[in-house]
Structure 1
Amino acid sequence: MKRGLVIGKFMPLHHGHIALINFAAVRCDELIVSMSYTDQDAIDPDLRLGWIKSMFTDPRIRIAKIKDDFDNESLALDERTALWAPVMKRTYPPIAILFSSEAYGEPFARHLQAEHVAFDPDRTIVPVSATKIRNQPFQYWEHIPAVVRPYFVKKICFYGAESTGKSTLAMRMAEHYNTEFVPEVARELLITNDFTVEDIITIGHAHAQRVEDKLKTANKLLFCDTDAITTQIYSKYYLNVVPGVLYELEAKVKYDLYFLMDIDVPWIEDGLRDLGHKRQEMTDIFKSALEQRNIPYTTVSGDFQQREAIVRHSIERLLKD
């Protein structure tokens, strides 16, 4: 059997890696894709392994991870790869061909006693690297596979009391930036404010699931109308209790920008809103919840045009950074 090997951190997996693996897979009978990891990695190893497995389902491609506790980056490549080879020999069956796009390829193959086949070492086919993607993911968005993109999508929350324009801005910004938005899911599930603890838990789960679903198709940004903190606030106000699961759901979804909506716009009755007489009190509660968590936020006030300008300015800065 002619067995091949591709190694890497795949942090993250990108189209260059995919091209390399596809190139290698048709040139051997079995291909081992070995993902190295450490406890200090910027991206969770199991998440990265899942990305690779979702992209390559051919049984001839064997995907594995190996803890990188045998390298010494202070050494020259020849000495470094001399440390790698024995570990690979102990871990995997005999390797006939090493496929790589890196300078380590030749010395590593020699220590493995394997042939080396280089693929696009000058990065002309896919001009990108994992480091560039981590540093500037939006600049290299086209080189990031769909399964990986949700990791880099920036989540933006419109947050605050009733009737302050959250839904309108979420939809408007999603349209402007050609991406997705998550509506206030509670409005899809409730027809009155007479709800139970079970109802509020259902709302919390439904909102978290909607965020997860929309992340899969979002284009760099995902705009969200409310969040798990909002669900907690209304649960406390109407039911005088906050189920623990709502805090667990909060921990699962972290937002990159919070816009706290001011109440300097008219309150509009819609059949479900009933806190028009407590707008300032509710705004203080919302603001306090962010400050208790040390979550930075931008206050959005003024008429609709002014509000949109504030939001777009912050988003443009986020995209640039």
Structure 2
Amino acid sequence: DVVGAVDDIPVDLHDPEIWEAHMKVFRAAVGRPVDAVFTSEEYGTELARRFGAEEVLVDPARSLFPVSGTAVRADPAGCWEYLGPAVRAALTRRVVVLGAESTGTTTLSRELAAHYRRRGGVWAKTGWVAEYGREYSEEKLAAARAVDPAASWEHMTFTSREFPVIARRQDENEDRAARLGSPVLFCDTDSFATGVWHERYVGGRNREVERIAARTRRDLYLLTDHEGVPFEDDGLRDGPELRPWMTARFRRELARTGRRFLVVSGDRGSRLEQAVAAVDGLLAEGWHFTAPLPERR
């Protein structure tokens, strides 16, 4: 089992009272006798003594696993292979590609992932997350055709209850990919976008979808402009006349909610160039962590 506890007591390895304050936190968290203390730190000897446990030093020179908390804070991407899945998911820069129907969101998501994979190294595992709403729609239409082979997309209707299901599944797929990939993940839509699609198919906002969308941090949105992109009817789309409204709604909601976004326009190559420049700018900003508590060793 892994247990955690908040320990915001200053570190002073020369002060017995501060040592005992830390031990009080540790003992309460563990809740049972400690047999061994595994550590790479010099203070492991004293920590083991206070627990009445055996000290087991693990790679104190950091030669087998050249990583430390200090190194991770300085360069998370450089330490990526040493981070656990949950930490990767928390640190992954999430870039969402969203837009109206037939504006190239899937194409751009795939091309961005491929572009960063070609950089190699830690970026070789860069992935993208497909739009679950489309999978859901395909299954919905297939179920209707199983009953009536003549059923078409025009016959499909949605209820408000379906959209939280779509939003949750989208987030689950995104989180799963973030645990396994590189420091950047590309998402073909997200649960925030699901809220705008709810407006389109049902009308009004869905509070549960908004609560779901608020749980996950996204770092950058790329809004694909409908201008200059021919409409392609793939059997699951409503028509080109709705695209200007959808683009405008996405743009207004992104601005209203204070999300960082860029509208990408032009031809396919130009859109990819704009997107890569924006993502590179995001990655160049690095990660910002709260400074560690002062230490006296």
Shift of 1:258: 0.7
Are residues 1:159 and 2:98 paired?
A: yes
Shift of 1:109: 4.3
2:227, 2:265 within 8 Å by CA — same for their partners in 1? Answer: yes
Shift of 1:262: 1.8
Q: Name the counterpart of 1:258.
A: 221
1:285 to 236, 239, 249: 249
Are residues 1:311 and 2:275 paired?
A: yes
1:296 to 249, 260, 266: 260
Secondary structure in 2 matching 1:177: helix
Shift of 1:170: 0.7
Change (3 A) 1:317 1:81: same
Q: Name the counterpart of 1:174.
A: 113
Shift of 1:83: 4.3
1:156, 1:257 within 8 Å by CA — same for their partners in 2? Answer: yes
Are residues 1:81 and 2:36 paired?
A: no
2:104, 2:224 within 8 Å by CA — same for their partners in 1? Answer: yes
Which deviations, in whole Å up to 9, do the C-alpha atoms of 1:133-190 show, x marking residues without a partner?
A: 2442211111113453222222110022222211101111222333221222222222
1:180, 1:222 within 8 Å by CA — same for their partners in 2? Answer: yes
Which deviations, in whole Å up to 9, do the C-alpha atoms of 1:234-263 show, x marking residues without a partner?
A: 211221143322112211232111111122
Change (3 A) 1:277 1:144: same
- Return the alpha-carbon distance in structure 1 between the equivalents of residues 194 and 127 of structure 2: 21
Which deviations, in whole Å up to 9, do the C-alpha atoms of 1:80-111 show, x marking residues without a partner?
A: 43544566578755556544322323444455
- Return the alpha-carbon distance in structure 1 between the equivalents of residues 175 and 37 of structure 2: 37
Secondary structure in 2 matching 1:234: helix
Are residues 1:131 and 2:34 paired?
A: no
Are residues 1:237 and 2:176 paired?
A: no
Compare the two structures and name the one with the higher helix fraction: 2
Secondary structure in 2 matching 1:317: helix
What code does the residue aligned with 1:231 have?
Answer: T
Shift of 1:112: 5.1
- Return the alpha-carbon distance in structure 1 between the equivalents of residues 158 and 250 of structure 2: 21
What TM-score results when the alignment is normalised by the length of structure 2? 0.75
- Return the alpha-carbon distance in structure 1 between the equivalents of residues 74 and 253 of structure 2: 31
2:98, 2:193 within 8 Å by CA — same for their partners in 1? Answer: yes
Q: Name the counterpart of 1:39.
A: none
2:7, 2:25 within 8 Å by CA — same for their partners in 1? Answer: no
2:92, 2:182 within 8 Å by CA — same for their partners in 1? Answer: yes
- Return the alpha-carbon distance in structure 2 between the equivalents of residues 203 and 82 of structure 1: 50
Shift of 1:297: 0.7
What code does the residue aligned with 1:282 have?
Answer: M
- Return the alpha-carbon distance in structure 1 between the equivalents of residues 267 and 163 of structure 2: 32
Change (3 A) 1:291 1:147: closer
1:228 to 178, 183, 191: 191
Shift of 1:266: 2.4
- Return the alpha-carbon distance in structure 1 between the equivalents of residues 27 and 209 of structure 2: 48
- Return the alpha-carbon distance in structure 1 between the equivalents of residues 66 and 240 of structure 2: 55
What code does the residue aligned with 2:7 have?
Answer: D
Are residues 1:268 and 2:205 paired?
A: no
Change (3 A) 1:87 1:148: closer
1:236, 1:242 within 8 Å by CA — same for their partners in 2? Answer: yes
1:144 to 47, 72, 83: 83
Q: Name the counterpart of 2:120.
A: none
- Return the alpha-carbon distance in structure 2 between the equivalents of residues 86 and 291 of structure 1: 47
Change (3 A) 1:182 1:82: closer
Higher RCO (CA < 8 A, seq sep 6+): 2
Aligned residues: 258
Indicate the percent of aligned positions where both proteins have the same amino acid: 30
- Return the alpha-carbon distance in structure 1 between the equivalents of residues 229 and 55 of structure 2: 70
1:81, 1:104 within 8 Å by CA — same for their partners in 2? Answer: no
- Return the alpha-carbon distance in structure 2 between the equivalents of residues 134 and 88 of structure 1: 24
Secondary structure in 1 matching 2:95: strand
- Return the alpha-carbon distance in structure 1 between the equivalents of residues 21 and 165 of structure 2: 53
Any stretches of 5+ residues in structure 2 without a counterpart? Answer: 118-125, 142-152, 287-297
What code does the residue aligned with 1:296 have?
Answer: R
2:168, 2:191 within 8 Å by CA — same for their partners in 1? Answer: no
Change (3 A) 1:146 1:115: closer
